[in-house]
Structure formats: structure tokens, C-alpha cells
Structure 1
């Protein structure tokens, strides 16, 4: 419940802040690109540090503290709105704060799976967690779009804060003991622990491939979303509510992807599922630039695009997460997750800036086509990597620092 509430708050905020900028404050393409880049920059700055800390702390503690921080950040946005001070500078500050806290939360909740379930249940455990994320993807965007269209900006921000507050209460009530890795009396310095995480990921061909494919996808996806959030209201003339509803179609697709992820890899092989799902999810966006506002099929087509993207993307997410968790010893889970997040999402701010540039200089339709084409590099990298050769069974864990396999 707590993770679902937190994800609902996050997905609501992902729509609320950009739409506030575009529809309420009249932000241009460049300003929207900067806003998204500011919210994504903490991934580049803090991911590695978050991994080192999470491997020393209880995941529950990190999740509670970060969601409490997000309550304060969105609460500050609501207060600024009530005082008539809500503008782009405030949105930039809130986006950065929420992004920074989200980095720690995401690393912690990924590490918590391995600490709470057995390794042979990783796929099912991740499928259940991603199912709750899917539920948030269904309601979050639609709710965010409706709040911006129908209610005031302070109410939109306050609702996001309320979801995070529910998460704090729910996660804080977890009583199951985490299986923390053994620690020495004098733990290594944080920078040494970060280097160990970097060396571990770089030393495994499968994890290196995950980093490369993730970086290619996240860079292009950030560019796509920057143009997409402008393309829908300005080129297709959709209202904020309609934008939220079309984005919400990702949720049912992701829910289906979560269910399939618990079955398909064991039947067809993890590699086949990864490559096929990535091709379907990324390729479907190539058709979006062909849509026009006057067409009767525009909204149904957008719903179908987002549904397919959600299903394929979730298959990739759950399968990759299970592979990463399976090959990583317990004491490296946080750092491995953070290193891959750093490599993948670290390029997202640049992608957002590129999306703003493409929309401004090349036009929304051409810019969206170019950005969507770039997304196809990710499945190509998967197809030529060791990931494509993964079979039905998850690989065994590699030894951690010092040669010990802590699985």
C-alpha cells in the first residue's frame, strides 16, 4: 500500500508540474525542457551516493524519510500558490527537491525486495511491486491532468503531498525484519563503496549492457516526453484532462506487463522477452507524429500507443530488475541499482534539453519523430549484447568485493 501511494504521488506530480508550467504559467519549449532537466539532474548527482547509503541503512527507514521530504516539498509548492508566489523558479526548486528524494526512495525500494523475499521469488516479487506501480500509472496521470484543469495549482500540489503522507504512514508500519548484509566495525568510506559498486557493474557484461541500453532509452525518452507534453495540447489541441487520460493508458498496459513478466521469461527465455518487448514498446511511438487534431482516431490511437508502451516497458523493467538482482550479492544491491540508475537516467537531463531544442527549432512534429527514432537504439543494443542470450533460468549471483558470493 505504501509503495502504491508513493508511486501515485510521484506519477501525479510528473504530470502536474509540467502541465502547470505549460497551461498555467505559459512556459515555452525551452522552459519546459529546463524544468524536466532540473527534476532529473539529481539522478546524475546523487544516485551513486544513494546506493552507498542504502547498503548501510534499512530500506524502510530511507523510504519513510524520503517520502516525508516529498510531503514538505509539495507542501511548500501549495503554500507558494496560496500566497500568489507560484512561478517557474518555485517549480524548478520543487522539481529538484522531489527528484533528489525520489532517487533515494527508488534505490531503497529496489534493495528492499531482495531483503524481504527469497531469490527464487524475485520475478514474482518484482512483478507484484511493479503491479502496484502500474496501478499508480493508471490513476496518477489522469488525476494530475484533472487537478490542473479543474482545480487550483495549490490543490494539485497538496494532493501529491497527501499521497506521500499516506506512504509514510503505511511503510512505517512494516514490521517484517530486513535481512541486512553483514557489516564490519569500521565500514569502508563512502567513496570506496561507490567505487566498489562501479567496478562490480563494469565487471559484468550483462550489467554493462543494461547500463548502455538504459542510457540510450532514457536519453531518448526524456527528449520524447518533453516534445510529447507540448505536442498533445498545442498540436493536437487536447485539454489537460485529455492529456492525463491518454497518459493514464500506460497504467493498464503496465499492469498487463507485470502479469506477463511473471510468466513469459520462464517460458520463452529472459533474453527473447527483453528484446521483443523493447522493440514493441519503443517502436510504437514512431506512429505518434502522424496523428492530427481533426482525426476521429487520434485519441483512441494515443490510448493504444500508451497501452502498448506500458505493457512492453513493464516487461523490460521487471525482467531487467530480476536479472540485476539475481547476479548481484546482497551487500551490493543498493550500489548496483544506483550505478545502473546513474548510467541510465544520468543522461536524461540532456535528453530533456535536447527535446526542448528539437521542439523549438525543428517543430513539434519533426522533433517528436527524431526523438522517437532515437529510442530504437535501446533494443538494438540489447539484441547484440549478452542479454539477448539469457535463457529461461535466472543467472547465478557473482561474488562481491573480496570474492564472497553473498547470495
Structure 2
């Protein structure tokens, strides 16, 4: 990445006009750049794969609504099964080690799937195995990268660091779906499936070059049992009003979004008669929107308040899917309208994501970062397999148009929960972490470098 590359981040409140801006110092950190590049490659591989596997099932294996729902549910099941355990591992291991191992595992899983496709053995059972393996490894990677930022940068750089990392997800959302749809439509199955493997390999090569030592918080009397450490994380999140609300709102959002996307991936090619490439382009529009949302997240919460931004962005962003059932196939405005709606959804959802992540990191002690992130992931995304199954059921029972409308209405429960909680009253400055809870291992780890 060119050394002159930087986001137009504002100065920190109270910073002087002399010397380099904090954002500039952040980008001059070689380890942060390696993390950013690895995250970008990993997200590109993930978003490419998330389109390739369902489209391959629908267009090549002629999967029906129920089959597609099962495929998506199997890929999301590790969130429910492994998130809490992943949090314990991340709080005990170095995040670099976790990310490198999971990148290698995902590259091997997709490489094996490409070989199976080459041999003509890439049927639905193989797709289910690959989806579960990639999903399981992604759980560990996602928890680790969220905790890694806190170990790399100062707390007053968290919003800008998160904005940059979430911006990498935006870049992946721009290229991943379009690339995945094009590969499935125009090239052979082995090439389409193997593309994700290449991106995970690039992430592996970048992240393994991070050299900064990590200090993992360890108790003087040795690590407690896994079950006890999981319980500490759950109690910490449940005992904090803001984090508890984040869990509930995230669960409502992710459950409804999983149902929406299952119906959506059926509605676009079958009801609106869009090709795989057109579906990829429509989904890819969330990418530039998310990039815009990442940039806005560095400015808007500090100007209008974190609570106002969360409520307004979530309400408008989640509400746009209510307009999709009004579109009809064959119209010249269908694809442009889908692009516009996905652009708005991507921008506002990303704005919410970055703001919520900054809130979570700011109120969580260093020694609890992995378990707090994992607990929120477990509660927030644990219901996504059921949401995917519900989406398939809605499409089979009511048709894709009515089913999509019903699932989209459910997405509005998330901003309603935020609006009724203390999160809505958060101001321009984020609160800090509480005093170290007794027995929770929540004290900050010593020696976290100042970058």
C-alpha cells in the first residue's frame, strides 16, 4: 500500500495543530497496515465465497428454497456453536496466531472444494461440509481481528482504526459479490470456488508478517477452566446495559437479515429474472456504500453524538428493504434501483457497525475484549441459522415477494430496541471501561504498545 495513502480523518478533540495527525501516525504503523491488508484480503475471500456457494447451489445444482436455506444455515451454525469458545481462545492466545491459522484453514478448505469440483464431486453434501468448515474458521478469525486492534493501537485511535478496518470490508463488498457472480456465471466451478482460497492465502501472508509482540492478560494463579472464563464474559456483557442492548439489537437485526438474504437470493434470479452477474452487481453496491459509511463513522458520532447516529442510521438503513418487493422484473429501473437501495443499506449499516464496535471496545477492559466480542457475536448472530431457515420457509409458503416483505418488517425491531435503551442517549464522547471486576480477568494487559 502506498505510504501516502490515508483517510481524511479529522483531528482528535483537543489535539494541537502541530505535528502529524493521529490518523497519519496510525497509517505509518507497519503492523497496522499489515493487519489492514490481511483483513481486506480475508473479507474479499469471504464475500466472494458467500456469493459463489449459494449461486452455485441455485444455478448449477438447482437447489430449491429449502435447500438454499439449509446451506446458509449450515454455514452460519458455527456462530452459535463456537463463538463463546473462540472468545476464550482469543483472550488466551495471540490474535496473530489465531488469524494466521484460520486463514490457512479456509484456504485449504476451499482448495479442497475446488479439487472436488474438478473431479465432478462438488454436490450439495460437499458444499455443506465446506460451508460449515469455512464458517467455523471465520468465527475464530472475526473474534481475533476485533481483539487485535485493541492490542495494536491506543484507545483514542479505536474509532479511526475501526473505520479503516471496516473500510476494508467495504472494499471487499465492492469486489467480492460482483466477482463471485461473474465467476459462477462465466467460468468453471473449480475456478469460482478456488478464488476464495487465493484471497485467504494472501491474508495469511500479510498477517503472518505482523511483528509486534502481544501481551496476553494472564492470571497469576494460572488460567481458570474454559467454562468459567466463558461465564465471566457472559456475566460482564449481561451486566453492562449498553452491551446488553447491543446483543439484543444485533440478534434482532441478524436474525431478520438472514431471513431477508435467503429470500433475496431467490427473489433476484427467479422473480426479477436477473443473471448471476447482475445479482453480483446488485449485492456489490453495498460495498461503496459501506466505504462511505466507514468514512462517515469517523466524523458523525463526534459531531452529533453516538446515540443519535445509531438510532437514525439503523432506522433508515434497515427500512430500505421494505421497498424491494415493489420492484418488478423486466423493468429498466430494476437493477439501478437495487443498486441504489443496497448503496444506502451498506452506508448506514456500516455506520452503525463501526459506531457499535467502538462503543463495545471503549467500555470493555483489555483482558475481556475477546470474550466480550465473542459473547456479542454468539447472542447477536447465533440466531442467523434459524433466520435462514425461516427465510426459506417464508419463500416456499408465501412466495418470494411477500416473504421478503415480512422479513424486512422484522428488521425494524433492531432500531426500536436501540431507541428505547441508554445507547440512544450516548453523547459525543465514549465512556471508558469500568474498574476491573473481581475475578473477571478484566484488568488491562500490561505492555500494550503505544503506536
- TM-score by length of structure 1 reads 0.99
Spell out the pairing of 1:255-334 with structure 2 (5 A cutoff). 255-334=291-370
Work out whether 1:360 is the aligned partner of 2:396: yes
Alpha-carbon distance in structure 1 between the residues aligned to 2:326 and 2:347: 22
Shift of residue 244, structure 1, vs aligned partner:
0.3
SS of aligned partner of 2:92? coil
Measure, in 2, the Cα distance between the counterparts of 1:405 and 1:275.
Answer: 31
Does residue 347 of the first structure (1) align with residue 387 of the second (2)? no
Answering whether residue 416 of structure 2 is matched by residue 380 of structure 1, we say: yes
Which runs of no fewer than 5 residues in structure 2 stay unpaired?
A: 1-36, 446-451
Return the match for 1:220 from 256, 270, 278: 256
Is contact 1:200-1:400 (8 Å) kept? no
SS in 2 for 1:402: coil
| Equivalences, count | 407
- The aligned counterpart of 1:16 is 52
Tell me, yes or no, if the aligned pair for 2:234 and 2:375 is still in contact at 8 Å.
yes
1 or 2, which has the higher helix percentage?
Answer: 1
1: CA distance, partners of 2:39 / 2:221: 32
Secondary structure of residue in 2 paired with 1:75? helix
Displacement after TM superposition at 1:2 (Å): 1.0
Is the deviation greater in 170-179 or in 30-39? 170-179
Q: Distance in 1 between matches of 2:215 and 2:244?
A: 27
1:175 to 211, 228, 231: 211
Distance (whole Å) between structure 2 residues aligned to residue 164 and residue 365 of structure 1? 36
Contact kept? 1:331, 1:400, Cα under 8 Å: no
Q: Indicate if the aligned counterparts of 1:328 and 1:400 stay in contact, CA closer than 8 A.
A: no
Q: Which residue of 2 aligns with 1:394?
A: 430
Q: TM-score, normalising length from structure 2?
A: 0.89
Supply the distance in 2 between the matched residues of 1:192 and 1:384 (Cα, whole angstroms): 32
Task: Provide the C-alpha distance between the structure 2 equivalents of 1:156 and 1:170, rounded to a whole number of angstroms.
Answer: 23
- The reply on whether 1:35 has 2:71 as its aligned counterpart is yes
Report the CA distance between 1:405 and its aligned residue.
Answer: 4.8
Q: CA RMSD in A?
A: 1.0
Quick one: distance in 2 between partners of 1:283 and 1:400? Answer: 39
Deviation at 1:237, TM superposition (A): 0.4
Deviations 1:150-177 (A, max 9, x none): 1011111111101001111110011122
**1:406 aligns to what?**
444
Q: Which consecutive residues of structure 1, in runs of 5 or more, have no partner in the other structure?
A: none
Q: 1:401 and 1:90 mapped to 2: Cα distance?
A: 46
Distance 1:316 1:180 in 2: 29
Aligned partner of 2:61 in structure 1 is: 25
Partner residue of 1:118 out of 129, 151, 154: 154
Alignment pair present for 1:140 and 2:176: yes
